[in-house]
Structure 1
C-alpha cells in the first residue's frame, strides 16, 4: 500500500521544478506524480491524477495560478494547494487564501520550507512561511507600508480547530478543560496554542486573549 504524499508541481520554469524535485526526492514520504508548465496543461492533468498536494506558481502562461484556483473553486478542489510565488504582496496573499489555497511560500525560501509545507497541508492544515506571516502581521498592525488588510485578515491564517481553541483560551478555559470540551489530548491543545502564538506573532497566551478581544471572538 502506497502511503506516500502524492505531489504535482506547476511552474513555467523547468529549472525551478527540477530544483524542487531534487529537494523532494530526499524525502521518502513524498512522490511527485507529475508536473505542468502552464495553467491549461495543469487543468488537463490534475483531475485525472491521484494528487494530495499541488504546488503552483501564480505567474504562468495560458492560465495563471489565480485563474486555476478560480476554476478549482467552481469545479471542486482535486487536492490541497500551496502557492509558491515570487510575489509577497499582501493583497495577492489574501486573494489566494480566500480562493482556497492552504499554503503560501515565496520562492526565495522554498528549499527550506517546502517539505514542512507539503507535510502540513497534506493533513488539511494551513502553512505560511515566516516571511509571509510577518508580512501579514505588519500590515495588520499598520507598521508596514501596505494598509490593505484589516483586523479580521489574520484570522485567515487560523484553522477551524485553532479558532475553537483560541475562543476557549479567551474564555479562560484551562488546557485540561479545552481537551475535555473538544475531545483531544492536552498535548494537542498545547501544540495548537504554540502554533497560534507563532501564527499571530504574539508573545504568550495573554497576547492571544488580546487578539481575541480585538476581533470580538470572546462572545462568539
Structure 2
C-alpha cells in the first residue's frame, strides 16, 4: 500500500493555490493538508498539520520564501521543501539549495513537473525541473573543450541526470565538485554513481569514463 504524502501549499495568489491543489489531488496518495497566503505562519502551519512536503513560492508577503527557508534551517526542517518561483537565477537557486531545500521549479514548468517533484522529494531525492537542471549543467560545463555538445542516442535506461553525472565523471570532476556544481548532496551523487555502474555493468570509474568516450559524450 502506497503511503499518503501530506502536502502544504504556500503562495500569495489564491488562484495558483487552487490550480496546484486541483492538480495534486488527481493523485490518490497525495493529500493537500493546508495552505498559506503569507509567510509568517508557515513553520507553525506545517508543524501542526504534519506535512511531508511544502510547495513554497519565493515571493510571499510579510515573510518571503527565502526567509521562511532560513527559519526552517535554524529551527530544523519540519518537512521537505520545493521552491516554486518565477526566478531562474543560478546564484539564487544555489543559495536556496544550500539552505537545505529539496527541489526547485519555475512556475512555467509547474504544471508538467509538480507531481513528479513532490513524489521525488518525498522519496528523499533532490529535484529540478528540466529547464533549471539544464541551465545548472550548462553552467557547470561551460567552456570545457572536452564536452561534446552533440547528444547521440545512448542507453535508454539512463536518465538525463545520470548522463550528466557520467559526463562530469569523465571530465574528471570529483564527487565533491559534482555536488557543488549541480547543487545536489554528496549522498545523491554517490547514489547516482552506484545506479550508473549497475546500469552500465561497470566495475569502477574507469568503466564509466570508457562508456562516455565510446558513446562520444566527451571528446577524447
Show the counterpart of 2:139: 139
More helix by share: 1
Show the counterpart of 2:13: 13
Assess, with a 3 A threshold, how the Cα gap between structure 1 residues 134 and 165 changes in structure 2: closer, same or farther: closer
Q: Secondary structure at the match of 1:40?
A: coil
Show the counterpart of 1:39: 39
Show the counterpart of 1:162: 189
Q: In the aligned structure 2, how far is the partner of 1:162 from the partner of 1:91?
A: 21
Assess, with a 3 A threshold, how the Cα gap between structure 1 residues 205 and 70 changes in structure 2: closer, same or farther: farther
1:12 is displaced (CA, Å) by 0.6
Show the counterpart of 2:150: none
Could you say what the CA RMSD is over the residues aligned between the two structures, in angstroms? 3.2
Q: Deviations over 1:93-148 (max 9, x none)?
A: 101110111000000010110000000100111111110011112222337xxxxx
1:70 is displaced (CA, Å) by 0.6
Show the counterpart of 1:94: 94
Q: Give the TM-score, by structure 2 length.
A: 0.71
Q: Give the TM-score, by structure 1 length.
A: 0.71
Q: Secondary structure at the match of 1:108?
A: coil
Q: In the aligned structure 2, how far is the partner of 1:20 from the partner of 1:73?
A: 25
Task: Give ranges in structure 1 of 5+ residues lacking alignment.
Answer: 144-149, 179-196, 198-203, 212-220
Assess, with a 3 A threshold, how the Cα gap between structure 1 residues 165 and 126 changes in structure 2: closer, same or farther: closer
Aligned ranges for residues 66-215 of structure 1 at < 5 Å? Answer: 66-142=66-142, 153-157=180-184, 160-163=187-190, 166=193, 175=201, 205-206=211-212
1:60 is displaced (CA, Å) by 0.6
